[in-house]
Amino acid sequence: MDISDTLAAELRSQFEGLEPDLRFRDEAQAMHACELALQSLLAGTYGVGALVMDDRHRVWAESGNEVLSGRFDSAAHAEMRVFDQLEARENKPPSQTLSLLVTLEPCPMCLSRALYAGIGEIIYLVEDGEGGMAHLRDHLPPALRELAQLCRFRRADVSAPLRELARQLSRAGLQAHREELMHQRAS
């Protein structure tokens, strides 16, 4: 089940009308992550986008969510796809020097993956009180909590309209996606 055409058109035109405010240091990359999120949403899955960048803002891997856009793949969160891509690369900087930038606070699976992958920093645009794990990282098992000590966490430095767009992208179609997940469980 897809989100309504009206909502899709509205979010697309919001994205297209958004002027990136480059006074914010994460704005350009976050804009790109939102574009990935928008593409995912338009493809019928969750509107979340992620990328891994180095300290010069060079992007080493990027993806949107792909859980419901093709064959059902419960592991295809944007961050998981990004780490798959990154780890498949031959020449890449040490993961400790890289940052994960994601439009929505990572869930427990993706946060654990990021910590196991040894990423240096996790940056997200929008908090996820329902499913996010970054703000609950003190409740991880001890081994992961130790890894989390080696990782920096912060909210993305972006303009208010861009953060609002990321929030809307992450919420659009949630009901339809939930029904699709329930359908997967039953089939």
Query: CB within 8 A of 36, min separation 6: which ones?
Result: 49, 50, 51, 62, 63, 64, 78, 103
Decide whether 59 or 109 has the Cβ nearer to Zn ion. Answer: 109
Q: Footprint of Zn ion on residues 6-65 (CB under 5 A)?
A: none
What is the size of the binding site for Zn ion (CB under 5 A)?
Answer: 4
Task: Please report whether residue 81 would count as binding Zn ion according to CB under 5 A.
Answer: no
State how far the Cα of 173 lies from the Cα of 163, in Å rounded to an integer.
18
Structure token digits, residue 25: 């240091």
Q: Which residue from 44, 77, 102, 103 is in contact with Zn ion, where contact means CB under 5 A?
A: 77
Decide whether 77 or 81 has the Cβ nearer to Zn ion. Answer: 77
Minimum distance from residue 113 beta carbon to Zn ion (Å): 8
Structure token digits, residue 96: 């400790």
Decide whether 27 or 61 has the Cβ nearer to Zn ion. Answer: 61
Q: Which residue from 30, 104, 107, 115 is in contact with Zn ion, where contact means CB under 5 A?
A: 107
Decide whether 78 or 172 has the Cβ nearer to Zn ion. Answer: 78
Minimum distance from residue 105 beta carbon to Zn ion (Å): 9
Q: Where are the beta strands (DSSP E) in the chain?
A: 49-53, 59-64, 99-104, 121-126, 152-155
State how far the Cα of 34 lies from the Cα of 92, in Å rounded to an integer.
24
Helix or strand run (H / E) with residue 184? helix 174-186
Closest CA to 81 of 101, 61, 96: 61
Minimum distance from residue 77 beta carbon to Zn ion (Å): 3
* Per-position x/- string for 108-147, each x denoting binding to Zn ion as judged by CB under 5 A, each - no binding: -xx-------------------------------------
**In this structure, are residues 125 and 105 in contact, taking their beta carbons and an 8 Å threshold?**
no
Minimum distance from residue 110 beta carbon to Zn ion (Å): 3
Minimum distance from residue 143 beta carbon to Zn ion (Å): 19
Contacts with Zn ion, residue ranges (CB under 5 A):
77, 107, 109-110
